[in-house]
Amino acid sequence: MNANPRQINLLNVVRARDSMTVEQLSEMLGVTLQTVRRDVQRLAEAGLLTRFHGGVRVPGSTIENIAHPQRESLNAEGKARIARAVAGQVPNDCSLILNIGTTTEAIAKALLHHTGLRVITNNLNVAAILSSNPACEVIVVGGVVRARDRGIVGEAAVDFIRQFKVDIALIGISGIEADGTLRDYDYREVKVAQAIIEHAREVWLAADSSKFNRPAMVEVAALSQIDRLFTDAPPPEPFPALLAEAQVRFEVSLP
């Protein structure tokens, strides 16, 4: 599904509290019970929420991400806006690293008309997209391919990335918590992401609004390690203050 802003807000509210009744959601979001039930039905059909009698809860946990096809369709429009904003700031003739994630895959599509790029990636989907651009050189990281999303992880991937120092790392993330930490689910993926951050002159984080206040088990980095944030809606509290304190420039790509 391509969730609209109201549905994304509903999803974020449930994620922040683990479970809520339909009545609570109606009151908090200022919409009718009928609207809430319709939105809940669509989100449940997409596997993003689990229904129980009178309410909904988050289907996953802090230890496992939702499936790649569901992530790919969740807020696809917002991710596309983010991708266009990022691509608009990436100069031709520079070096990049793109990591695992559906937002970085959207960025890869938005970079198809750039020239002179040298791109390192541990995401086979990104490699497949950008390999169709003859003016772009793609370097694929070695390591273990994760079947569920074609991400490459493991110590071999970490060692490979340590050979390079790129101009910009374009990274996605599974969650940004209220303490200012960036988090993900797979420890092996996190180790690769940390190497990417360490071996880039600038780090740009691309995260749609569903990532704020989303819990995950493993800490990747802190906001202070990020130079720029691209998102699709104004960050909720307490993130504006955290971003200002960390001196992160952020750009909001509204519809």
pLDDT tens per residue, range 101-146: 999 999 999 999 999 999 999 999 999 999 999 999 999 999 999 9
pLDDT band at residue 1 under the 50/70/90 scheme: low
pLDDT digits 0-9 by tens, 186-232: 899 999 999 999 999 999 999 998 888 887 889 999 999 999 999 99
> Cα angle vertex 92, ends 91, 93, to 5°?
115
- CA atoms of 145 and 132, how far apart (whole Å): 21
Residue 253: predicted pLDDT? 95
pLDDT of the residue at 74: 63
Q: What size, in residues, is the chain? A: 255
pLDDT surpassing 60 at residue 66: no
- Of 210, 177, 213, which Cα lies nearest the Cα of 79? 210
Mean pLDDT along residues 155-171: 97
Task: Report which of residues 11 and 29 the model is more confident about.
Answer: 29
Query: Between 5-17 and 22-29, two packed helices, what is the crossing angle to 10 degrees?
Result: 120
N-terminal to C-terminal alpha carbon distance within the chain? 17
Nearest to 15 by CA among 179, 187, 209, 229: 209
Among 31-45, 61-75, 85-99, name the one with the lowest average pLDDT.
61-75
Q: Identify the bridge partners of residue 176 per DSSP, sorted by sequence position.
A: 182, 212
CA distances from 100 to 68, 79, 221 (A): 11, 14, 15
CB 184 within 8 Å of CB 114:
no
Look at residues 65, 35, 104, 87 and name the one whose alpha carbon lies nearest to residue 186.
Answer: 65
Asked whether the beta carbons of 195 and 217 are under 8 A apart, the reply is no
Specify burial of residue 32 (Cβ count, 10 A radius: 0-12, 13-18, 19+). exposed
**Per-residue pLDDT at 63:** 43
Collapsing DSSP to helix, strand or coil, 143 comes out as coil
CA-based nearest residue to 111, from 82, 140, 139, 149: 82
Retrieve residue 60's tokens: 């996953």
Dist CA 119 CA 131 (whole Å): 10
Give 3-state DSSP helix, strand, coil % of the chain, rounded to 5.
Answer: 40, 25, 35
